[in-house]
């Protein structure tokens, strides 16, 4: 495991934990202190600023890494050596994470504890594809499609509430998956799901048509982080 490898490393190094809420000027100052002139500070700042969960930098003689964790970094922290304990604590608990995946015509709702899926509901609904003809025919079709979309989104909201309401207080995070527009419609229409607005992980927008197997793969992905490593040529 990467954290075990880093923990075993020796030699000069610094570890920097950056929460997503940290001010840009403070972030730049800390990065200059840790990585010096070895790489482009603006590039790292850009990457870390785009992360909703913050970032961790391990910068030393033997290893140089940038980690964008799947769960939020809660505090700013700077230490000498490869200090991985705070990052371990981010991943150590078996969080309970709700999964709400939706593309027009199909949805999947689940709950995972750690990487294990412990609850699931998968369903479909009728939403016609766009109509290419013009005139009054197109307007009638658009009204019908709008009604189908509204009905489908309401159905997804109802199933989400049925599955999640009884365990709402136990859920640590919620992650949406699917098409961006569909997620926006669901979040706007579903009052119940707004209860989780302060507990959202970054959405997964590359989710295919939601099915049980997709739900299981997302449960595993929840614990995956993005890692960049600089290596000597």
Q: Which range is least confidently modeled, 65-74, 136-145, 150-159?
A: 136-145
CA distances from 120 to 57, 134, 157 (A): 36, 41, 14
Grouping H, G, I as helix, E, B as strand and the rest as coil, residue 175 is strand
Q: Give, in order, the Cα–Cα distances in Å from 186 to each of 86, 156, 158, 178, 191.
A: 35, 8, 11, 11, 9
Per-residue pLDDT tens digits for 200-216: 999 999 888 898 999 99
The answer to whether the Cα torsion of 167, 173, 179, 182 is positive or negative is positive
Per-residue pLDDT, averaged over 203-232, amounts to 90
Q: Same CATH topology for 2-92 and 96-221?
A: no
Position 129 confidence tier, pLDDT thresholds 50, 70, 90: low
Q: Categorize the per-residue pLDDT at 150 as very low, low, confident or very high, splitting at 50, 70 and 90.
A: confident
- Closest among 61, 99, 96, 66 to 80, alpha carbons compared: 61
| pLDDT, tens only, 20-36 | 999 999 999 999 999 88
Distance CA(100)–CA(157), nearest Å, equals: 10
Q: Which residue has the tokens 């599955």?
A: 163
Percent of the chain whose predicted confidence (pLDDT) is above 90: 62
- pLDDT value at residue 139: 63
Task: Pick the closest to residue 159 from 105, 116, 113, 107 (CA basis).
Answer: 107
Could you read off the pLDDT of 162-197 as tens digits, one per residue?
999 999 999 999 999 999 999 999 999 999 999 999
> First vs last Cα of the chain: how many Å apart?
24
Nearest to 223 by CA among 150, 114, 103: 114
Tens digits of per-residue pLDDT, 60-78? 989 999 999 999 999 999 9
With beta carbons less than 8 A apart as the criterion, state whether 13 and 80 touch.
yes
What pLDDT sits at residue 41? 83
* Mean pLDDT of the region 223-230: 90
124-128, 134-138, 197-201, 228-232: the lowest-pLDDT one: 134-138
Domain locations in the chain?
2-92, 96-221
- CATH architecture assigned to 2-92: 2-Layer Sandwich (3.30)
Burial 77-87 (b: 16+ CB within 10 A, else e): beeebbbbeeb
Asked if pLDDT for residue 232 goes beyond 60, the answer is yes
Amino acid 209: pLDDT:
86
Q: What is the mean pLDDT of the chain?
A: 88
CATH superfamily, region 96-221: eRF1 domain 2 (3.30.420.60)
List, in order, residues 6 or more apart from 126 with CB less than 8 Å away: 105, 148, 152
């Amino acid at each position: 495991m990467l954290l075990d490898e880093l923990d075993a490393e020796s030699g000069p190094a610094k570890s920097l934990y950056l929460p997503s809420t940290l001010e840009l000027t403070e972030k730049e100052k800390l990065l200059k202190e840790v990585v010096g002139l070895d790489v482009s500070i603006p590039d790292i700042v850009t990457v870390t600023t785009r992360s909703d969960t913050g970032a961790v930098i391990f910068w030393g003689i033997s290893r140089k890494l940038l980690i964008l964790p799947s769960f939020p970094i809660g505090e700013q922290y700077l230490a000498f050596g490869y200090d991985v304990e705070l990052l371990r604590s981010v991943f150590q608990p078996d969080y309970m994470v709700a999964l709400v995946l939706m593309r027009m015509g199909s949805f999947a709702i689940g709950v995972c504890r750690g990487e294990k899926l412990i609850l699931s509901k998968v369903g479909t609904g009728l939403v016609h594809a766009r109509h290419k003809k013009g005139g009054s025919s197109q307007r009638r079709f658009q009204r019908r499609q709008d009604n189908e979309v509204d009905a489908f989104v309401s159905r997804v909201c109802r199933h989400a509430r049925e599955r999640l309401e009884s365990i709402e207080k136990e859920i640590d995070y919620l992650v949406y998956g699917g098409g961006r527009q569909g997620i926006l419609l669901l979040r706007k229409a579903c009052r119940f799901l707004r209860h989780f607005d302060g507990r959202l992980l970054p959405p997964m927008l590359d989710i295919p048509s939601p099915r049980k197997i997709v739900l299981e793969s997302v449960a595993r992905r929840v614990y995956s982080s993005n890692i960049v490593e600089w290596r000597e040529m």
